[in-house]
Structure 1
Amino acid sequence: MKTFPIKTLFTTGLFAVSISITAQAANNDLATYQQQAKGLLEKLEAKSEGIEAASAQLVSTSLPIVNQFIAKYPECTEYLTALKQAADKIPALPLAEIESGYHADGKLPELKNAQCYHAKDLLVHPATVQAMAKLGIQTDEQWESAEHEIEEVIEHFTQVEAAMK
């Protein structure tokens, strides 16, 4: 039977606990994001109040997930870090600029892994809805467009969730 010094066992145990806590935090963040996204979609379908605040909260909830994604996929670092640096600015941009700069990646570095794209959209879609709400969502077409943004982010979420396992 091989024996290990207590220090090695202790260090290994702490590492295992650290990984377990990190995985649990990621699962909690993903569950919170999914719940908030579904709640925002329900608000949009009901054309209720609080769309701007709910979409801003979803943007905020996306940030730890983006950070965890960077940790798991370091090739996404440059791409997703540029996005995070713009997170506060995106909702204040004109919708056309959000589309060209962040949906279509015109203001982001080169995409090196398709998985990075899905993580990016966890932030960009709710930021788009936040921008729409700031402008005022009034017509049926605008409400449908905002709903589509969140329906789409829920699809991207499933990709991110699978990639984080």
Structure 2
Amino acid sequence: MPLLEVEDLHIELQTQRGPAEAVRGIDFTLERGETLGIVGESGCGKSITVMSLMGLLPSTAKVTGSIRFDGTELVGRDERAMCRIRGNRIGMIFQEPMTALNPVHTIARQVGEPLRLHRGLSQADARKEVLALLDRVGIPDAASRLDAYPHQFSGGQRQRIGIAMALA
């Protein structure tokens, strides 16, 4: 069974000028262990497609077609069901790390949140895991930077922190 199957995905967004078809009938399959790149010009629907996989579209968006993750249909699932999957089984690395990270929370708190929510780790155990993840993605002197805030990192380091969050 494929890890991810997207069939005839259509996404309609509401705009001030009426409905706009943001995605028109995309299909793809991703097997376990494979990597898939979605490329295209600006505004062609790449981000909207990925946001639909995560259940992060605006409530006014109309999604039709099928998104099956590990055999489970995601289209039409309620927010509570998506929260059990999002951050636990599916992660996303946002293109712009400064907008993906909360400026008022430390890196340890942000990277540790999915570990506490989905794996039930204590604060102390989550902190240890965050340190291991930051080391894994190449944050220099990670132990002394756990309590730093996003603005205290370079753009490339913030991108690595986003990757650590997705791994968490």
Of structures 1 and 2, the one scoring higher in RCO (CA 8 A, sep 6+) is 1
Range of TM-score over shorter length: under 0.3
- Normalized per residue, the structure richer in helix is 1
Higher strand share: 2
Normalised TM-score (structure 2): 0.27
